[in-house]
Structure 1
Amino acid sequence: MEVAEVVPEFADAFPFDEFNEMQREAVPALVNSEANVVASAPTGSGKTALAELAICQTLDAGGTAVFVAPLRALTNEKESEWERFEELGYSVYVVTGERDLNPRRAERADVLVMTPEKADSATRKHDSPRYSFVTDVDCVVIDEVHLLDSEKRGSVLEVVVSRWRRLCDPRVVALSATMPNIDDVAAWLDAEPETTFEFGDDYRPVDLHAGVRTYTHGDNPFADKYRRLFTTLDLAEPHLREDGQALVFVSSRQDTVQAAKKTRDEIGERDIPVGSRGDYEFHTETEELDNATLRKSVLDGVAFHHAGLSTNDKNLVEEWFREGKIRILFSTSTLAWGVNLPARCVVIRDTKLHDPLEGEVDMSPLDVLQMLGRAGRPGYDDVGYGWVVCDESDADMYRNLLREGKEIESRLAGNLAEHLNAEIAMGTIRGLGDVMDWLETTFYYQRARSEPDDYDFPGLRDRVRDTLDDLVEEGFVETDDDLGLSATRLGVLASTYYLRLDTAREFRDVADGDGDADSVLRAVASAGEFDSVSARKSERDAVDRIVGSEADDLDSGPRKVLAILRASMDGSMPPELRSDAWVIKQNALRLLAALGAFFERYDDPAGANVAARLEARIDTGVPEDAVGLTALDGVAAGRAHKLADEGIETPADVREAGTDGLEAAGLGPGVAESVHEQAAGMPDVLVDWSDLPDSIAAGDNQMCEVVVRNAGGGAAAGVAVTVNDVEMTETTGYLDDELSVPVGVFGADADELEFEVTVSFSDLPLLPVTETRTVRVE
């Protein structure tokens, strides 16, 4: 069956001319109908083509398709791969949290590529103009639907698919590696038997021999890594000596590098002929690599691959591995989910991972099966060999996994309250009846019907009602006399910012307090999102050096988070904390943005400004005095430090310096002009005290007003007035030209009255403007 016969308009979108046996069986369901399709097939058997066929069918009908990829790294790869669609005149647009959304491009895209988390975030905001495009989709393709079983991410995929079906009822095409309970997934998605395909191991392009190899666990984790590495090399060596290749999965980016270094020494000791140092042409090609360590390693036939490498280096490593120039490749799990890079021998050296937010965790069964599925090179090998290296205590668990596979379970029960709150906040659930209708659209409900004892199916509705009652009692949801449901301000904030409900409650309490920098940082460090963070022994001295006795009442995990935040603000992260710092920092920035919104919604612009300044400092490492520079588009950490070093610390300084001064400070002409223009659009505040008298007689009183004038761009602001450190009045609003604040001048017992006006910008990281005026009491 030739591609050109099936989809003649899209023949150039496929990298091959003929469909294989598995693809041929699925073609009619994908191309000749609009029915929902569920298909499971072994890794490497060509599932991607099924996704592309579904996309072609949608484009041919003039519709829009969404491809939901399991990892952010894969969304970028699909963007590159699907330039083939671009060449046919269709637009492919990737929507991820790491990119600024262009709503116009998203709305006009023919193919959208998203992760489950971004799809969840976008569909939660579907009624906003910025994200309205998510309800105008005709087909949702879910890549690796067995992600439903992921402890951390499964419930997100589950609710976003159910939500899409309630919002716009698109066609759903769900693809997966082998799953024993495919019928549950099909029933959940209303896929008929004739559009449900379970392609077994006989469809694998190469047979797989999978097994478990144990090692002797010691007291030293560092030594254990090398025990597992030597076991790994024992397993790979026979295949390397027969001109085969080995793909080895390890737990971290750093481990890929260290394992590759040690392996270069070990293969020399064992005299395994895998190097290419005599290949002078290849020697020249390696000069194209950006990573110097990798450049040395590949000449010995050993390489490493992880998401931190440049795109150029990753592409070259993949190309050389396919060509056989690299014989043993160490990688993190990303490679298993994305790139089709099979090897004769696959070894999982590390089954336990360090997660910055969770501590030591077991690798998920889904990852294990996905990695082992890479064993065997179609067209080169008759059999692939996959091994799990683990401690004896875990051996039976992995043997059972390899023998029986892993049924897909629903993980929605673990955070049912958060997801139910989100649906109510979005308005997709408006009453008690809607709650039960929503429940029946979930995989949770379908799985409970299949396994009523495991899921307590008879009590399921009661559990959901109890969860709803808790949301009402805790202030996230409110009801009316007609049994209608709506989200409170607290519920909306928790949903909008993806907060755990306990964190949302804590943030509400903080927003009701003083909102100083210390309390804001402590609230973020103590958030439930970080409750599994732990400080390793090697990190504790560094944590103590940073926070000292400031947080003695906090546990070691929150202290570590607090230390990372403070070090990020100063741009002085100690080496011991760097491995976890990026993930913790990114989560903290999201939480700070959320807490800023709490302050704003609870009418505390000064607190919101504190959160905005902390967010900017943690993100850039800019000093407190120069944090206002980060409000200017085009001024990130590097340029902010460069300007601050030249004494240009605020937007006002930028305006005064002019483009000539900015160029003298090291900015290029174009950048200097843009930055100066941005500064001109920032608020430029002057406090007019002219209505206040210089003195007042004891016992007299006079009502006056202070006028805050703005000669620059408008912004949301709060104006607070104190007299002798006692709060007198506060006004919030949009400061365009001016804001007037009533001030009472009362002749009191004091000899003088010191008035202080503070202007805070709630959504800009500008330092507050503070001015004082003294009135004598005579």
Structure 2
Amino acid sequence: MEVAEVVPEFAEAFSFEEFNAMQREALPALLDTDANVVASAPTASGKTALAELAIVDALRVAGTALFVAPMRALTNEKEAEWDRFEDLGYSVYVVTGERDFNPRRAARADVLVMTPEKADSATRKHDSPRYSFVTDVDVVVIDEVHLLDSETRGSVLEVVVSRLRRLADPRIVALSATMENVEDVAAWLDAPDAATFDFGDEYRPVDLHADVQTYTHGDNAFADKYRRLYTALDLAEPHLREDGQALVFVSSRQDTVQAAKKARDEIAERDIPIATRGEYDFHTETQALENGTLRQSVLDGVAFHHAGLSKNDKDLVEEWFKQGRIDLLFSTSTLAWGVNLPARCVVIRDTKLHDPLEGEVDMSPLDVIQMIGRAGRPGYDDVGYGWVVCDRSEADRYRRLLREGKAIESRLADDLAEHLNAEIAMGTIHGLDDVMDWLETTFLYHRARSAPETYDYGSIRDRVRTILDDLRDRGFIETDEGLGLSPTTLGVLASTYYLHLDTAERFHELASAAPDERDVLRAVARASEFDSVSARQAERDAIDDTLDAGEKSLEPGARKVYAILVGSMDGSIPPELRSDAWVIRQNALRLVAALGEFFVRYDRPAGANLAARLEARIETGVPADAVGLTALDGVGSGRGHRLAQEGITDPNAVREAGVSGLVDAGLSEGVAENVLEQATDLPAIHVEWGDFPEAIDRGDNELCEVTVRNAGAGARVGVRVTVNGVEMTADGTYLSDEMTVPVGVFGAEDDRLTYTVTVTFPRAPLRPVREERVVVVNAAQANL
């Protein structure tokens, strides 16, 4: 069955000319019906083509397809692969948190690509103009639907699918590697029997031999890592000697590099003939690699692959491995989910990994199955060999997993309160009846019906009622006598910013106070999102060096987060903390931005401005006195430091310096012109005291006016007037030109009155403008 015969107008969109047996069997359900489809098939059997067929079915009737990829790295790969659709005149648009988002491109796209997390965020905001496109999708393709069973991400995928079905009622096509209970997923998605496929191992292009190899666990974790490495090389060696290839999965980016270095030495010691140093042409090609360590390693037939490499280096490693010029490849789990890069021998060296937010965790069973499934090269091998290297105490667990697979379970019950609050905040649930209707759209409900011994649906219903009572008591929702449910500001903020409910409560409390920098940083470090962060022994001295003794009250994990935030603001994160710093900092930035919005919503402009400035400093590391420069597009850490060193520390100074001054400070002329233009689009605040008196007699009073003038672009500001530290007035407004503030001058008991006018910018990281005026209080004259 040739592609050109089945979908002639889309033949160029496929990377092959004929459908295989598995694809042929699924074709009628995908192309001849509009039914929801669920297909489980072994890794490397051609599931991607089923996704592409579902997309083609939507495109040929001018529909829009949404492809939900299991991880962010894969969204980029799909974008590159699906240039084929672009060549046919269809638009493919990837929506991720790491890119600038263009709502118009998203709305016009024919194929959208998102992670579950981004789809969750978009659907929560579906009624906003920026994200309204998400309700117009006609088919949703879920790649690797067994992600439902992920403890950390499964509930997100589950609620996204349920929400989309309620909002847009699209066709659902769910694909997966082998799963034990495909019928449960089909029941959840209302896929008929004729559109439910459970393709067995007979559809694997290469047979798979999968087993467990144990090692002797010692007291030293570092030594154990190398014991597992030598065990992995023992398993790979016979295949390498027979001109086969081996793929070894390790737990971290750094481990891929260190393992590759050690493996090169061991391969030389064992005299395994895989080096390619004698190939002059290949030696020349390797000069295109940007990573010097990788450049040296590939000449010995050994390479490493992880998400931190440049796209160029990853692409070259993948291509050379496919060509057989690299024999031994060390990788993180990302490769197992993404690129179709099989090897004769696959070894999972590490079954445990360090997660910056969770500490040491077991590798997900889904990851294990996915990795082992990469064993066997179609067209080259008759059998693939997959091995899990683990401690003897865990051997039976992994043998059972390899032999029987794993049933997909719902993880929604663990996060039910947050997701229920989100649905109420979005307005998709208005009452108790809606809650129960929503519950019946979840995988949790369907799994509970099929496995009552594992799930008790009656207790789930009771739990929902308990959660609703708790949400009401904690101020996230409101109820009325008619069993109606409505969100509060707190509930909406928690949903909009993906906050744990405990974190939202803490932020709410802080927004009612007058916090300083330390209060904000401590609140973020103590957020529930960081509860599982742990500080290893080697990190604790670095944390102590970064923080003062006043932070000893924090738990070790919170102190680690706090130290990373302080180090980020100074641009000096200690080396011992850098491995976890990126993930922790990205999550912290999201939380600081959320806290800033709490201050805005609860009318605390000074707190909002403080959060905006801290967010900018954590992201860029600019000095505190130069943080206002980050409000200018194109000014980050490097340029911010450069300008600050020349005394240009805020937009006003930029305007005064002009292009010539900015060029003298080290900017190119083009950048200087752009930065100056940005500065002119920001407010320029001046405080004019007018006829404000210098002195007043005790007992007298005088009503004066202070003018706050804006000579720049309009902006929302908070204006606060205090006398001797006591607030007299506070006002929030949009200031386009000027405003007058009435100020009473009273001859009080104090000898001096210090009046302070503070103008803050709740939506920008500009430093507050503060002006003071001192009024002397004259002593009362004695009566004559």
For residues 533-556 of structure 1, the C-alpha deviation after alignment (integer angstroms, 9 at most, x for no partner) is 010011000000000312111111
Identify the range of structure 1 (623-632 vs 700-709) with the bigger mean alpha-carbon deviation.
700-709
Identify the range of structure 1 (299-308 vs 457-466) with the bigger mean alpha-carbon deviation.
457-466
Q: Percent identity?
A: 75
**Pairing 1:148-297 to 2, within 5 Å after superposition:** 148-297=148-297
Partners of 2:139 and 2:151 lie apart in 1 by 26
Structure 2 counterpart SS, 1:303: strand
Partners of 2:551 and 2:60 lie apart in 1 by 61
The aligned counterpart of 1:304 is: 304
Residue 57 (structure 1) shift: 0.4
Structure 1 counterpart SS, 2:522: helix
**Amino acid in structure 1 at the alignment position of 2:409:** E
Partners of 1:427 and 1:686 lie apart in 2 by 44
**Amino acid in structure 1 at the alignment position of 2:737:** D
Q: Does the Cα contact within 8 Å between 1:452 and 1:458 map onto a contact in 2?
A: no
Structure 2 counterpart SS, 1:550: helix
Residue 301 (structure 1) shift: 0.3
For residues 285-329 of structure 1, the C-alpha deviation after alignment (integer angstroms, 9 at most, x for no partner) is 101100000000000000000000010100000010011110000
Residue 697 (structure 1) shift: 2.2
**Pairing 1:106-505 to 2, within 5 Å after superposition:** 106-505=106-505
Partners of 2:333 and 2:406 lie apart in 1 by 18
Partners of 1:127 and 1:255 lie apart in 2 by 44
Unaligned runs of 5+ in 2: 779-784
The aligned counterpart of 1:646 is: 646
Q: Does the Cα contact within 8 Å between 1:515 and 1:606 map onto a contact in 2?
A: no
Q: How many matched pairs?
A: 778
Structure 2 counterpart SS, 1:743: strand
Residue 691 (structure 1) shift: 4.5
Using the size of structure 1 for normalisation, the TM-score is 0.99
Residue 566 (structure 1) shift: 0.2
For residues 600-641 of structure 1, the C-alpha deviation after alignment (integer angstroms, 9 at most, x for no partner) is 111111011111111000100000011000000111111111
Residue 733 (structure 1) shift: 1.3
Partners of 1:704 and 1:500 lie apart in 2 by 48
**Amino acid in structure 1 at the alignment position of 2:71:** L
Q: Does the Cα contact within 8 Å between 1:236 and 1:246 map onto a contact in 2?
A: yes
RMSD of aligned alpha carbons: 0.8
Q: Does the Cα contact within 8 Å between 1:249 and 1:348 map onto a contact in 2?
A: yes
4+ long deviations beyond 6 Å: none
Partners of 2:571 and 2:22 lie apart in 1 by 54
Q: Does the Cα contact within 8 Å between 1:662 and 1:672 map onto a contact in 2?
A: yes
The aligned counterpart of 1:84 is: 84
Structure 1 counterpart SS, 2:733: strand
The aligned counterpart of 2:694 is: 694
The aligned counterpart of 1:566 is: 566
Identify the range of structure 1 (735-744 vs 675-684) with the bigger mean alpha-carbon deviation.
735-744
Using the size of structure 2 for normalisation, the TM-score is 0.99
Structure 2 counterpart SS, 1:771: strand
**Amino acid in structure 1 at the alignment position of 2:428:** T
The aligned counterpart of 2:17 is: 17
For residues 394-439 of structure 1, the C-alpha deviation after alignment (integer angstroms, 9 at most, x for no partner) is 1111011011100000000001000000000000111111111100
1:52 matched to 2:47: no
Partners of 1:514 and 1:458 lie apart in 2 by 46
Partners of 1:235 and 1:607 lie apart in 2 by 59
1:62 matched to 2:55: no
Partners of 1:465 and 1:142 lie apart in 2 by 31
Q: Does the Cα contact within 8 Å between 1:758 and 1:770 map onto a contact in 2?
A: yes
Structure 2 counterpart SS, 1:777: strand
**Amino acid in structure 2 at the alignment position of 1:638:** G
Q: Does the Cα contact within 8 Å between 1:214 and 1:390 map onto a contact in 2?
A: yes
Identify the range of structure 1 (301-310 vs 713-722) with the bigger mean alpha-carbon deviation.
713-722
**Amino acid in structure 2 at the alignment position of 1:551:** E
Residue 375 (structure 1) shift: 0.1
Partners of 2:673 and 2:216 lie apart in 1 by 64
Q: Does the Cα contact within 8 Å between 1:731 and 1:741 map onto a contact in 2?
A: no
Partners of 2:363 and 2:543 lie apart in 1 by 28
Partners of 1:487 and 1:88 lie apart in 2 by 45
Q: Does the Cα contact within 8 Å between 1:685 and 1:711 map onto a contact in 2?
A: yes
The aligned counterpart of 1:93 is: 93
Structure 2 counterpart SS, 1:329: strand
For residues 48-92 of structure 1, the C-alpha deviation after alignment (integer angstroms, 9 at most, x for no partner) is 000000000000010000000001000000000000000000000
Partners of 1:319 and 1:618 lie apart in 2 by 38
For residues 726-756 of structure 1, the C-alpha deviation after alignment (integer angstroms, 9 at most, x for no partner) is 1211111112112332222111111221100
The aligned counterpart of 2:781 is: none
Partners of 2:202 and 2:311 lie apart in 1 by 35
**Amino acid in structure 2 at the alignment position of 1:94:** V
Partners of 1:301 and 1:292 lie apart in 2 by 15
**Amino acid in structure 2 at the alignment position of 1:57:** D
The aligned counterpart of 1:675 is: 675
Partners of 2:371 and 2:701 lie apart in 1 by 79
Residue 661 (structure 1) shift: 1.1
Residue 20 (structure 1) shift: 0.3
For residues 347-374 of structure 1, the C-alpha deviation after alignment (integer angstroms, 9 at most, x for no partner) is 0000000000000000000000000000
1:763 matched to 2:763: yes
Residue 202 (structure 1) shift: 0.5
Structure 2 counterpart SS, 1:478: strand
Partners of 1:377 and 1:419 lie apart in 2 by 42
Partners of 1:705 and 1:598 lie apart in 2 by 31
Partners of 1:370 and 1:740 lie apart in 2 by 66
The aligned counterpart of 1:592 is: 592
